[in-house]
Amino acid sequence: MLAACAAAQSPPPSPPPTAQVDPQRAFQQGEAALRAGKLDQAERDFRAVLAANPQVAGAYANLGVIYMRRKQWQSALEMLHQAEHLVPTVAGVRLNIGLVYYRQDNFPAAIAPFESVVRDVPSSYQARYLLGLCYFFTDRYADAVTALEPLWTQSSNQLNYLYVLGIAAGKAQRSDLDQRALGRMAEIGQDSPEMHLLIGKAHINHEEYDDAIKELDLAAQGNARLPFVHFYLGWAYFKKQDLDRAKSEFLKDVTFEPDVAYNYDQLGMINYLQQRDQEAEKNFRKALRLDPALASSHYQLARVYQREGKFKQALAEIEAAGKLDQKSPSIHYLRGQLLQRLGRTQEAKAEMETTTRMMNEQRSKRQKELYGSPLPNPELKQEPQ
């Protein structure tokens, strides 16, 4: 849900003498077009307003909304920051800036604008909920509890809210709140497909894949179209190395959730393991079109190119992965291998030294054979309405 920014600053009552357009009328037309979903017309109207008077914050704010709807994130940020500069006290502009980062899964960048909205408008449910999720996704569990706990009265009938709050409370050593959230989940979830889905996810997180599959199968039996149930079944089967069953489940999820990048990322990994490199490349490219910030797809695509002997292309992909995830020893190791194959010996040596240092720092953590993020939570990222 986009914040309403049209009122950030109304246009002046009369245009300059040389203006060809009445900016007030153009602004009103732009608002009407935006409400009707006529984005091209709305963009033209708000651009006309700014041509007449470049100080109209509301025009910048609404252009930001237009670009958000088109998923033109950089353009959206440029317009919203222009609006913020002109009207720094309008919380709705900063909320939308946070939303731009949030929708790109750039949770660290989204935190500051959401924090500022919660500070200025403590009653903003949307900003507080999304701030709590950003803290959760960046492992700031105590902060997540602080942000989310005040929403109990409004949200304690939502399983996803209780799931996130319970996990965050457990990680933050708040056993009282952890038990309260789990108890409430059991109370309202009972034998629902949604409850079986969350229990299945919990089993996956504990690497109890057979138990996870049992719970997720129950969820699918209760609601075969339940969002992401087939995704998590695919994940569980993949972890059991049952690649054909995993592939089948990810493809089922694609039929219900065609725009979830993680499905194509996982399908690409299965293709790679089955040495179907052309299919792997196709799926990784599809994943990156949907989510350019998915580091694992860049990494796996680099492995595909490495196996095909396309070392320059592989290096480009691994460097893209490295910009998105600077803490992965696997990325540095593969980059070192590629630099060595390209004759850049000194750089390769430096990468291998970095890999060794990082792995020594992480010695207490189990290293994964395949690079990948922890279990994704795409259903938890849905914005509150």
Residue 167: closest CA among 192, 124, 128, 201: 201
Name residue 97's amino acid.
Answer: I
Backbone φ and ψ for 305, nearest 5 degrees, come out as -65, -35
For residues 166 and 6, which has the higher predicted lDDT (pLDDT)? 166
Contact 176, 200 (CB under 8 A): no
pLDDT in tens, 68-101: 999 899 999 999 999 999 999 999 999 999 999 9
Say if 24 falls within a structural domain: yes
**Looking at residue 379, what is its pLDDT?**
66
**Mean predicted confidence (pLDDT) in 215-234:** 94
Contact 27, 11 (CB under 8 A): yes
**Looking at residue 363, what is its pLDDT?**
58
Contact 26, 86 (CB under 8 A): no
Name the pLDDT band for 359 (thresholds 50, 70, 90): confident
**Looking at residue 326, what is its pLDDT?**
82
Give the distance from CA 118 to its chain's centroid: 21
**Mean predicted confidence (pLDDT) in 46-74:** 95
**Looking at residue 20, what is its pLDDT?**
67
**Looking at residue 362, what is its pLDDT?**
66
Say if 341 falls within a structural domain: yes
CA gap 279, 283 in Å, rounded: 6
**Mean predicted confidence (pLDDT) in 255-264:** 93
Question: What DSSP designation does 342 have?
Answer: T
Residue 377: closest CA among 134, 179, 169, 154: 134
Give the distance from CA 68 to its chain's centroid: 15
**Looking at residue 189, what is its pLDDT?**
85
pLDDT in tens, 304-348: 999 999 999 999 999 999 998 888 899 999 999 999 999 999 999
Name residue 78's amino acid.
Answer: E
**Looking at residue 205, what is its pLDDT?**
78
Residue 297 lies in domain: 259-380
Say if 41 falls within a structural domain: yes
Q: How far, CA to CA in Å, does 175 sit from each of 152, 166, 183, 228? A: 16, 9, 12, 29
Say if 199 falls within a structural domain: no
pLDDT in tens, 133-192: 999 999 899 999 999 999 999 999 998 899 999 989 988 999 899 999 988 988 888 889
Contact 250, 266 (CB under 8 A): yes
Name the pLDDT band for 105 (thresholds 50, 70, 90): confident
Percent of the chain surpassing pLDDT 70: 89
Backbone φ and ψ for 172, nearest 5 degrees, come out as -90, 10
Question: What DSSP designation does 382 have?
Answer: P
Q: How far, CA to CA in Å, does 366 sit from each of 215, 320, 331, 359, 360? A: 26, 25, 16, 10, 11
Give the distance from CA 307 to its chain's centroid: 30
Say if 149 falls within a structural domain: no
**Contact partners, residue 315, CB within 8 Å, separation at least 6:** 302, 335, 338, 339, 342
Contact 86, 9 (CB under 8 A): yes
Where is the domain boundary, 55, 71, 104? 104
Say if 371 falls within a structural domain: yes
Name residue 28's amino acid.
Answer: Q
**Looking at residue 150, what is its pLDDT?**
97
**Mean predicted confidence (pLDDT) in 11-16:** 48
pLDDT in tens, 173-189: 998 999 999 889 888 88
Domain count, the chain: 2
Give yes or no for residue 201 having a pLDDT over 90.
no
**Contact partners, residue 275, CB within 8 Å, separation at least 6:** none
Say if 305 falls within a structural domain: yes
**Looking at residue 16, what is its pLDDT?**
47
CATH (domain of 286): 1.25.40.10
Q: How far, CA to CA in Å, does 103 sit from each of 97, 110, 243, 255, 292? A: 10, 9, 30, 22, 12
Name the pLDDT band for 297 (thresholds 50, 70, 90): very high
Where is the domain boundary, 50, 78, 104? 104
pLDDT in tens, 113-130: 999 999 999 999 999 999
**Looking at residue 18, what is its pLDDT?**
44
Give yes or no for residue 384 having a pLDDT over 90.
no
**Looking at residue 2, what is its pLDDT?**
53
Where is the domain boundary, 36, 71, 104? 104
Name the pLDDT band for 361 (thresholds 50, 70, 90): confident
Say if 270 falls within a structural domain: yes
